[in-house]
Structure 1
Amino acid sequence: MRMRECFVAGLVALSLSSNAGAEAMFETFESDPASSWTYLADTVMGGVSAGSATFERDATGAFVRLAGQVSTDNNGGFIQVRRSLSKRLPSSTEGVRLKVRGNGDTYFVHLRTKGTRLPWQYYQAQFSTTSNWSDIQLPLDTFKPSGQFLRQTPRAETITSIGIVAFGRDHTALVDVHEVDWYEAAR
């Protein structure tokens, strides 16, 4: 009986450790993403961009689609889908990992931190899309501050939200995001 209990305990421990990686995944858009992701556009500041963030599924799985017309008219120029973080990231976090596809344009990830108190403050890194799913890694040191009064590089433990953004020029946006994750330095 004692040997059997040890075997069962070992299986439970193995199961928990193999699920730890799955739990570390920040977002796979499988479980009620509409409750945590919010669509925003420059219309909140008088801009005229129009779009949507829809949660969809195809043969590859669940994803969010950010689509619309970005216009720089009226000092506008963005549409985005954003999520606030419920937990702080560990300071060992090195960057953001995404699985994306799109219409071949360049898009951005915006990070907000405890130090980005004004609505127009963020840290930004860009990524390009193709019509096929691609894995993208964006190290935190590639994120640039939106203004001179922010730190040069965001600190992981201060990040409060992440946004996927079509930004800065007149264009038709279409980007799908299948996964959002954080990664740490290899040990």
Structure 2
Amino acid sequence: MTETAPGNQPWCLDDFTRPTAATGTGTAWRCFTDQVMGGVSRARASHEQLGGSAALCLKGEVSLANNGGFVQVALDLSPDGGFVDVSPWSGVALTVRGKDQKWHVHLRTVDCRRPWQSYRAGFTAPREWSGVWLPFSAFEAHRLDAPLATDAVRRLGIVAIGAPGTVEIAVARVEMCAR
């Protein structure tokens, strides 16, 4: 388990000012698509400067062909592959912009033993930089029965899933915080 800052202070996972390891975790964002399970969706992630903000940009094409349908960027929260206790906070805050498309944040915990299991909360990425607040209570279990274990979170993903077409999002900040 990785120790984190006290719950009253936000824990900045990344502000994208460093192009390699994330600011607060020491781990790197990775880009995944449904190709890991035979799908044909495509995506590319890059660090860019947009409107004066450093950002992680994910651009791709979601295809439902071949039982596919997602693109994502994901961040392991602990450099040793373990889990992190995020229970001192009450949710995830993002600063994003996009094309008014639906996105999700997926959390994976120690209870997520299969690749398709996660806890999911959706949001829309507007055309202008905007803050998004996702309380842990908004995350729904997907293909598992266990409640969200905020004391044992392994990974956070930003995902476009289930809707075919061209997708694009820029993320300037990701943090755990209380509201």
Q: TM-score, normalised by structure 1?
A: 0.81
Gaps of 5+ in 2: 1-7, 22-26
Q: Which residue of 1 aligns with 2:60?
A: 68
Give, as a single letter, the amino acid of the residue that structure 1 aligns with 2:38: G
Give, as a single letter, the amino acid of the residue that structure 1 aligns with 2:17: E
Deviation of 1:21 (Å):
5.4
Give, as a single letter, the amino acid of the residue that structure 2 aligns with 1:180: V
Q: Which residue of 1 aligns with 2:171?
A: 177
| The structure with more radius of gyration | 1
CA contact (8 A) 2:19 2:47 kept: no
Give the secondary-structure state (helix, strand or coil) at the position aligned to 2:36.
helix
CA displacement, residues 133-160 of structure 1 (integer Å, 9 cap, x when unaligned): 010000011111111x3324x1221111
Q: Which residue of 2 aligns with 1:98?
A: 94
Give, as a single letter, the amino acid of the residue that structure 2 aligns with 1:32: P
Number of equivalenced pairs: 163
Give, as a single letter, the amino acid of the residue that structure 1 aligns with 2:94: L
Q: Which residue of 1 aligns with 2:18?
A: 31
CA contact (8 A) 2:86 2:176 kept: no
Separation (CA, whole Å) in 1 of partners of 2:96 and 2:141? 23
Separation (CA, whole Å) in 1 of partners of 2:87 and 2:168? 33
Q: Which residue of 2 aligns with 1:8?
A: none
Give the secondary-structure state (helix, strand or coil) at the position aligned to 1:74.
helix
Residue 120 (structure 1) aligned to one of 116, 138, 149: 116
Separation (CA, whole Å) in 1 of partners of 2:99 and 2:178? 29
Separation (CA, whole Å) in 2 of partners of 1:90 and 1:68? 30
**Are 1:108 and 2:104 an aligned pair?**
yes
Q: Which residue of 1 aligns with 2:36?
A: 44
CA contact (8 A) 2:86 2:152 kept: no
Q: 1:140 to 1:48 in 2, by over 3 A?
A: same
Q: CA RMSD in A?
A: 1.8
Which has more strand, going by share of residues? 2
Deviation of 1:184 (Å):
2.2
The runs of 4+ residues in structure 1 deviating greater than 6 Å are: none
Give the secondary-structure state (helix, strand or coil) at the position aligned to 2:84.
coil
Give, as a single letter, the amino acid of the residue that structure 2 aligns with 1:115: D
Give, as a single letter, the amino acid of the residue that structure 1 aligns with 2:106: H
Residue 145 (structure 2) aligned to one of 141, 150, 157: 150
Separation (CA, whole Å) in 2 of partners of 1:150 and 1:136? 27
Separation (CA, whole Å) in 2 of partners of 1:33 and 1:99? 19
Give the secondary-structure state (helix, strand or coil) at the position aligned to 2:35.
helix
Give the secondary-structure state (helix, strand or coil) at the position aligned to 1:116.
coil
Deviation of 1:129 (Å):
1.6
Q: Which residue of 2 aligns with 1:84?
A: 76
Which has more helix, going by share of residues? 1
Separation (CA, whole Å) in 2 of partners of 1:80 and 1:90? 22
